[in-house]
Structure 1
């Protein structure tokens, strides 16, 4: 069978992987939320953008670009800040 050291190492590996899996899942969720917001904002901008003045439209487009850039990165905190 397995020695006590091997069992302890396997338990520690499983715990470490669980934390990494949790972080990866949280990042994926943040990216999905960002993508949904980008999509809905672009759609609204297409429909109603002509009702905005140029300055407002530029600010919204810049915010979309910042969120797209953040979503491509691997920093959940940055994505959350842009959402």
Structure 2
């Protein structure tokens, strides 16, 4: 009597692992994007605080809006890596 797994059980386990690998990859991308975004938010807020009086009101408002949009994306219950990356890029462009 064989105590091993059947071919179908092995195949199911491999498929489950592949499916989980994709989900893990997406989760990892979201975490990495979130970490980068949080760092940028922090540095942008600090720069705005330190040098905000040296930029125009229009630029200041654009930076504040970009920070707010990025914070919203980062704080989402299901953070979307692409959304966070796009808003990170926007903040980098305006600041």
Q: TM-score, normalised by structure 1?
A: 0.93
In the alignment, which of 53, 56, 60 is matched to residue 59 of structure 2? 56
- DSSP-derived class of the 1:17 partner: helix
Is 1:75–2:80 an aligned residue pair? yes
Q: Name the one with the larger helix percent.
A: 1
Secondary structure, aligned partner of 1:37 = helix
CA RMSD of aligned residues (A): 0.9
1:66 to 66, 69, 75: 69
Find 2:50's aligned residue among 44, 47, 52.
47
Give deviations 1:44-74, integer Å, cap 9, x for gaps.
0010011122222111101100011111232
Runs of 5+ consecutive residues of structure 2 not aligned to the other structure: 89-95
- The question of 1:7 aligning with 2:10 is answered yes
Q: Following the alignment from structure 2 to structure 1, what is the Cα–Cα distance between the partners of residues 34 and 23?
A: 16
Q: Distance in 2 between matches of 1:81 and 1:38?
A: 14
Distance 1:20 1:51 in 2: 44
Q: Which ranges of 4 or more aligned residues in structure 1 deviate by more than 6 Å?
A: none
Cα distance in 1 between the residues matched to 2:29 and 2:62: 28
Any gaps of 5 or more consecutive residues in structure 1? none
Aligned length: 83
